[in-house]
Structure 1
Amino acid sequence: MRKLSGIFLVGLCVGAIGAVAVTVSHGAAPQAVAVAETVTTPSGTPTPTPTAEPEPKPTPEPEKKAETKAEPAPSQELGARVDAATLDKLVRGGNVSAVVFDRQSGKTTVSVHPDRDYTSASLVKLLIALSTLERGGPVADVQRMLSRSDDDLASRFWTSYGGTSIVTQWVRKLGLTGTRPPADPGRWGDTQITAPDVVKIYQYLLDHGPKAILAALRAATERGSDGFRQYFGIPDAAGGRAWAVKQGWSCCRPTRMLHTSGVLGDDSRYIVVVLTEHPAGVDYATASRRVTDVVAKLLG
């Protein structure tokens, strides 16, 4: 602050004291007052007090337009445009059957050669697992049998928990129409199956089956206990979708079987079953690629 003359300062103080005395004597409540202050420069020329600028008026917000949301495109059903001829070309010289069931809509979206029957290979392990757990068998070993497709464990459970009666029990319980036990009671892998029946087995597993079975299918290892790479088909074609699978492979009586089955997508929405039979001259690597191509075509 600049220096002021003594006389002026004394006068200013006396005036202020008087103003306070008057205010107190009237007993009025203090109020906030805007004061315009004038400062005197050394030359005695008063500096004009800056005038208060008018408060800016708020700018009215532009009127919001009603948002229009685009209608969502109708969902494409999985595999809805796939036909038998397309899949047959992918499995040259062999046979293919495919069924896709949408659990959300309750509809079968793909049904290609559904009545063909195949040797089950390891897909019958789903029924072996159900019977074993139903009768109090070891959960951890059942899960290992499924996730690693362990044949030794499957043979042990097959013998201990009913043999061919395992198949006939679940045929009656689930209403399977194309499934029958093997002609040779000791060869569980020769159980006969169809794609629609495998779908029914998964429907039961999802709605009523022990959770340990689906947990094992979600934890399927890339290689089975025999070293075979079992990520062909659904796992290789899933493209980031969640999956749980049971795979099957066998050779050569007299042909090569390669099957992929399981559930796919959020909340296991789709049940996907692809059963294939290849000439013995088609190696496993080629057959595996063909099965993956079939599933990729189903997924669009």
Structure 2
Amino acid sequence: MVVAMVAVAVAPARAAEPGAVPRGAPAAATALDIPPGVTAGVAVFDRQTGTFSEQHNPRMRFRSASVVKLLIALDHLWNRGPDYILPPDDRARLDTMLRASDDASASYYWSRNGGGPIVDRMVARLGLADTAGPPAGYPAVWGYTALSAADTVRIYRYLLDSAPEPVRTLVMGNLRQSTRCGTDGFDQRFGIPASFERPWAVKQGWSGFGDSGGCSNTTAVAGTGGAVAGTGGAVAANDVDLTQRALHTTGTVGAADRSIVAVFTLHPTGTPFGAAYTDLDRLVRSLNVPGAVHPAGTWFGTWGTDVRVRAGATTSSAVLTELPAGVEVLIRCQKQGRRVEVPPYVNDWWAYLPLYGGYITNIYVRSPDNTLPGVPLC
């Protein structure tokens, strides 16, 4: 039976939720957008002028989650001669750890190279002021390493300005090829990659979100950020919070790696991954990042779980990934395609998401009509 086309109504409970109103790119020189309940440490360093364009709690210490993989990689590569050639399996393991944030690779190097002393060595080598290894009782949990935004900037400055060229090429080259999905099934396109056009290079971090990562085309593996079961309720003696959910974005933005960006955030326990992802994106978009270019489009909220991003505007097109539940997305254009029915809604309009290179049905976009206001045709 043919179903007549009807206008899409938005359920009243959804109409008032954050993201219902389209959001454009932020104006220049705005205040930092730190959502209520979020704790943030921020540092943005302009390498061209040698000055910070943003600082907010720059020396506050956070559990690093996967950002510590930068130190793990640098320690492993330290004192290698310029002609040293990494064995193929070693190179593959480093590539996967840095590009796809592979936890098994990090644990391998952590165990092989001595655990906590890795951090101690890198603190001394790089002159880090706020960094410390995991607290007593958690020696194997590399993700509990304490790290600040200011120290993270120092790590990237070493990589870009002082590291041997082979080391810089290996590490930064991998960060430029950061995958959409981590090996644990988490979507890594938050923060810097979501907020700025290429060129960028990123090392992301997340901890405490369970298995709600949003990627459909990966095989999940046990553990996130080196965490172990039963350790989520304690706060370490060094005052690094191990309880709240952590989401961090770090890296470089702009031609010639002009700006170094380090943003660490904590979100109240129970915050869904999509909500933390959205809050972090809003914070990063509000930053003054010299050399950065915001992508064209309008930000909209979404609803639903396991919303599929497809290669074309039809349900028969290949699935590229799935969105984290309730995440805010950038939409560049829209077009008509295959009609989709999600009772009581029916819609044949699809939105193009440049961040993912694919389309979602407009049904799952928070807007009162079948078409999205202010969004051009594809």
TM normalised by structure 1 equals 0.69
- Residue 299 of structure 1: how far off its partner (Å): 4.5
Which residue number in structure 2 is paired with residue 220 of structure 1? Answer: 178
Amino acid at match of 2:43: V
Q: Determine if the alignment matches structure 1 residue 176 to structure 2 residue 165.
A: no
Which residue number in structure 2 is paired with residue 123 of structure 1? Answer: 67
2:42 to 75, 98, 102: 98
Partner SS for 1:257: strand
Listed as ranges, the matches of 1:24-103 within 5 Å are 81-83=29-31, 86-88=32-34, 90=35, 92-103=36-47
Task: Report the structure, 1 or 2, having the larger strand content.
Answer: 2
Structure 2 Cα separation of the partners of residues 144 and 198 of structure 1: 21
Q: Determine if the alignment matches structure 1 residue 291 to structure 2 residue 260.
A: no
Amino acid at match of 1:118: F
Structure 1 Cα separation of the partners of residues 207 and 93 of structure 2: 22
Spell out structure 1 runs of 4+ moving beyond 3 A.
79-83
2:191 to 192, 213, 233: 233
Structure 2 Cα separation of the partners of residues 257 and 215 of structure 1: 26
CA contact (8 A) 2:53 2:288 kept: no
Structure 1 Cα separation of the partners of residues 283 and 38 of structure 2: 13
Amino acid at match of 1:170: M
- Residue 82 of structure 1: how far off its partner (Å): 4.8
Listed as ranges, the matches of 1:174-213 within 5 Å are 174-183=126-135, 184-209=138-163, 210=167, 211-213=169-171
Structure 1 Cα separation of the partners of residues 28 and 94 of structure 2: 35
In the TM superposition, what whole-angstrom CA distance separates every residue of 1:252-292 from its partner, at most 9, and x where no partner exists? Answer: 54110000000000000000011000011211110011111
2:205 to 248, 252, 255: 248
Structure 2 Cα separation of the partners of residues 148 and 270 of structure 1: 23
Structure 2 Cα separation of the partners of residues 256 and 105 of structure 1: 34
In the TM superposition, what whole-angstrom CA distance separates every residue of 1:175-211 from its partner, at most 9, and x where no partner exists? Answer: 1111100012111000001100000000011123311
In the TM superposition, what whole-angstrom CA distance separates every residue of 1:34-53 from its partner, at most 9, and x where no partner exists? Answer: xxxxxxxxxxxxxxxxxxxx
1:158 to 110, 135, 139: 110
Structure 2 Cα separation of the partners of residues 267 and 94 of structure 1: 32
1:261 to 243, 246, 250: 250
Partner SS for 1:177: coil
- Residue 140 of structure 1: how far off its partner (Å): 2.6
In the TM superposition, what whole-angstrom CA distance separates every residue of 1:38-74 from its partner, at most 9, and x where no partner exists? Answer: xxxxxxxxxxxxxxxxxxxxxxxxxxxxxxxxxxxxx
Which residue number in structure 2 is paired with residue 37 of structure 1? Answer: none
Structure 2 Cα separation of the partners of residues 179 and 87 of structure 1: 26
CA contact (8 A) 2:99 2:179 kept: yes
In the TM superposition, what whole-angstrom CA distance separates every residue of 1:210-233 from its partner, at most 9, and x where no partner exists? Answer: 110000000000000001001100
- Residue 118 of structure 1: how far off its partner (Å): 0.5
- Larger C-alpha radius of gyration, 1 or 2? 1
CA contact (8 A) 2:28 2:288 kept: no
CA contact (8 A) 1:233 1:292 kept: yes
Task: Report the structure, 1 or 2, having the larger helix content.
Answer: 1
What runs of 5+ residues in structure 2 fail to find an aligned partner?
1-26, 81-85, 209-231, 233-241, 290-378
Query: Matched residue pairs, number?
Result: 218
Amino acid at match of 2:161: D
Structure 1 Cα separation of the partners of residues 125 and 133 of structure 2: 15
Return the structure number with greater relative CO, CA threshold 8 A, min gap 6.
Answer: 2
Amino acid at match of 1:231: R
Structure 2 Cα separation of the partners of residues 134 and 271 of structure 1: 22
TM normalised by structure 2 equals 0.55
- Residue 115 of structure 1: how far off its partner (Å): 2.3
Structure 2 Cα separation of the partners of residues 80 and 109 of structure 1: 12
Amino acid at match of 2:29: R
CA contact (8 A) 1:176 1:200 kept: yes
Q: Rate the CA distance shift 1:285–1:162 in 2: closer, same or farther, 3 A.
A: same
- Residue 80 of structure 1: how far off its partner (Å): 8.2
Q: Determine if the alignment matches structure 1 residue 281 to structure 2 residue 270.
A: yes
Amino acid at match of 1:147: R
State the identity %.
Answer: 41
Structure 2 Cα separation of the partners of residues 208 and 161 of structure 1: 23
- Residue 117 of structure 1: how far off its partner (Å): 1.0
CA contact (8 A) 1:80 1:110 kept: no
Which residue number in structure 2 is paired with residue 147 of structure 1? Answer: 99
Structure 1 Cα separation of the partners of residues 249 and 149 of structure 2: 10
What runs of 5+ residues in structure 1 fail to find an aligned partner?
1-78
Q: Rate the CA distance shift 1:108–1:80 in 2: closer, same or farther, 3 A.
A: farther
